[in-house]
Amino acid sequence: MSATAITLDPMLSPSFPQRAPWGTADKLRAWQREALDLYFTRDQRDFLVAATPGAGKTTFALTLAVELLRLGEVNRVIVVAPTEHLKTQWADAAARVHIRLDPRFKNSHWAPSRQYHGVVVTYAQVAAKPSVHRHLTEDANTLVILDEVHHGGDALSWGDGIRDAYGPAKRRLSLSGTPFRSDTAPIPFVTYAPDESGARISTTDYAYGYGRALADGVVRPVLFHMYSGKMRWRTSAGDELEANLGQDNTKDVTSQAWRTALDPEGEWMPAVLSAADRRLTEIRHHVPDAGGLVLATDQTVARAYAKILHSITGQQPTIVLSDDATASERIEKFSQNDSRWMVAVRMVSEGVDVPRLAVGVYATSSSTPLFFAQAIGRFVRARRRGEAASVFLPNVPVLMGLANELEKQRDHALDRQSKDDDGLEDSLLESANREEEASDALTQEFSYQAISSLAHFDRVVFEGKEFGQLAEPGTPEEEEFIGIPGLLEPEHVHELLMHRQSRQSKLRAAREAAEGPEQTTTLPPPLHRTLREQRQLLNSLVGLYARQAGEPHGAVHAELRRLCGGPAVAQATVAQLQQRIDLLRKRVRS
C-alpha cells in the first residue's frame, strides 16, 4: 500500500453524509483546524477529542488519517465503533476521502484484504478475540481511531481486550461526542489527573462543546417542550396513588408517575405524540423532509407508540428494534426518504446519522447524562442555516436538569464522591420499569397498574431559560409554542420565545375572563396552593386526633415524622404531607 496514494479531497464535507452547510464545503471548520494544529504541535501518541454530536468528529478523524498516511507516519487505519451499523457509516465516509476500510472484517480473517487501507470493527468484536486485533496492529504502523471511546469501559473484559489489542499502536485517536460514563470503570487510553479534591478526572486534549458549536452555526438550537400532568396508579401492595409530574414529589413517587406517563394505554402519551406531530408539521412547512423520532423503553411500548402515531398521521412509522436483523437497513431507508416518524428502542441513540431528524419524543426512563446527550445528539445536526429542533420531555427533575445543562462539559471521574447527585437513581427507574416474571404475576394478589394519565404543556426550555406556563393540549395557549417557525437563527430564538410567552399569557387571561369562575379545568393548581391546602388539612387532622388521644399537637407531629419520615411541615413536599394525612385518617377512623 502506498501512502502517497492518499490525497485529501478538496470537496470534503464538514459533516457527513454529503450535505454541507452554507458555502463551507471546501474547507474545514475552525474547530477542526484548531484541533489538527494542536495534534501536530503536541505530537503525542494518544489524543482525546470531545466534540458535541453533529460537530464533525468523523471529518476531523479522517482528515487526520489522510495527513498521517500522506506523511508516512502510519500505513494502516483501524476504526473501532460502538455498533455494526456505524461500521458501514465509517467505511462510507472514509471512501469519500479515498481511504478504503473493510467494514466486513471478521475475527476469523486474521488480516485485511490487500486492497484495503484498514478495517472497521466493533468494541464487542475486539473484546471477543483481542489477539486477532493485536496482530493487525503490530503488523503495520497503525492509527487506531476509537469512536465514542467510553464504550471501552462497558465491561472489564472489553477494557482489557481494547488495551491488549491496541497497546502496540503507533497512534491512537480517541473520540467522544457525549459526557463520559457515570460509573468508575476506567476507559482505555484516557489519561486521568487529580482535581482540586484529589479525585481522578479524565483529561481531554481538545474540547468543542454545544455552546460554541451553536454560536458557530455548526449545530441546531434545541427547544425542550416539557409536559407535566396528573398520574394515577396502583402499587404492588394494592394502594392507589396520585401525583402530578413537575411538582415536588419524592424520588419513588416521581419514578412511578414517570412510568405511568409513558404507559401507551393512558392519555399522556397520545397527547404528547399528537403535539409532537403538530410541531413536525410546522417544521415541514419550512423543511419538507423533516422527520421525527420516538425513543421508547422497550419493544412492546415501541409498537404501541407506533400504533398511536399511525392513528394520528395515517402513516405507518418505521419501527427499529435492537434485535431486528434489518434494523440498519430500516434506519438507512428512513434517513433517505421523507416519511414522518421513526420509533426506536435505543438503536438510534449514538453515532447513527439521520440529519433530517428535527422532532424527538423522549419516551424512555433512561436518565444518565450519557444516554441523554446521545439521544439529543440525534437532533442537533445542522444541514442548513436556521434549522431548529424540538424535543418533547416528561417534566421530571432529572430530565429538567439535563435539559438546562445541555452545554455542560462532563469529564469522567474514576473516584466517585457521591452517588446520583444529578437526580433520580437509574437503578430506581430500572426497577420501576422492570416487568414482573410471569410466575410472580400469577402468585401475587396485586401488581403495578397504571390507572390514568393526563398531559399538560408545562414550559419550553432553551439555553437554561424557561418560557411559557401550564396549558391544556390542543388549546391556543399550547399552540403558541407548537407553532414556532421551523427556521430560526439561534440569536432570534430567545426573543421569539419571550414574545410567545407574552402572547400566551394574554390568550389565557382572555379565555379565563370569557369562561367565568364556574368553568372547570384539568390543569393542576399551582404548587404553593396545593401545599397550603395540604398543610391546612394536616393541621386540622392533627388537632382532631390530638383531642381524641389527649396528646399535644407537637407530639402528634413528631410521631408522624418518625413514622413517615421527612422534614417539618413547613419543608415537607406534597407527597410527604399526603402520607401523613393518610396515616392520620386511618387513626382518626379507628
> Average pLDDT for residues 246-253, to the nearest whole number?
77
Q: Tell me the three state secondary structure of residue 378.
A: coil
Q: In whole angstroms, give the CA distance from residue 468 to residue 395.
A: 14
CA–CA distances in Å: residue 176 to residues 153, 357, 409: 13, 21, 11
Residues 6+ apart with CB under 8 A from 26: 10, 11
Mean pLDDT lowest for which of 92-106, 261-275, 501-515? 501-515
CA–CA distances in Å: residue 435 to residues 225, 298, 465: 29, 11, 37
Residue 171 and residue 43 in contact, taking contact as beta carbons nearer than 8 Å: no
Q: According to the per-residue pLDDT averaged within each range, which of 40-44, 407-411, 518-522 is highest?
A: 40-44
Residue 581 and residue 241 in contact, taking contact as beta carbons nearer than 8 Å: no
Residue with cell 391556543: 476
CB-CB neighbours of 373 under 10 Å: 25
Phi, psi (rounded to 5 degrees) for 367: -135, 15
* Alpha-carbon dihedral sign for residues 33, 38, 44, 49: negative
pLDDT tens digit sequence for 164-196: 999 999 999 999 876 454 456 678 888 877 777
Residues 6+ apart with CB under 8 A from 188: 146, 149, 152, 153, 159, 162, 163, 166
CA-based angle 413:417:420, to the nearest 5?
85
> Average pLDDT for residues 463-478, to the nearest whole number?
87
pLDDT tens digit sequence for 78-120: 999 988 888 988 999 999 999 999 999 999 887 888 899 999 9
> Average pLDDT for residues 27-38, to the nearest whole number?
91
- Taking the CA atoms of residue 318, residue 321, residue 323 and residue 326 in that order, the dihedral angle to the nearest 10 degrees is 20
pLDDT tens digit sequence for 516-548: 665 555 656 555 456 777 777 787 788 778 877
Whole-prediction pTM value? 0.69
Residues 6+ apart with CB under 8 A from 222: 376, 379, 380, 388, 389, 390, 391, 406, 462
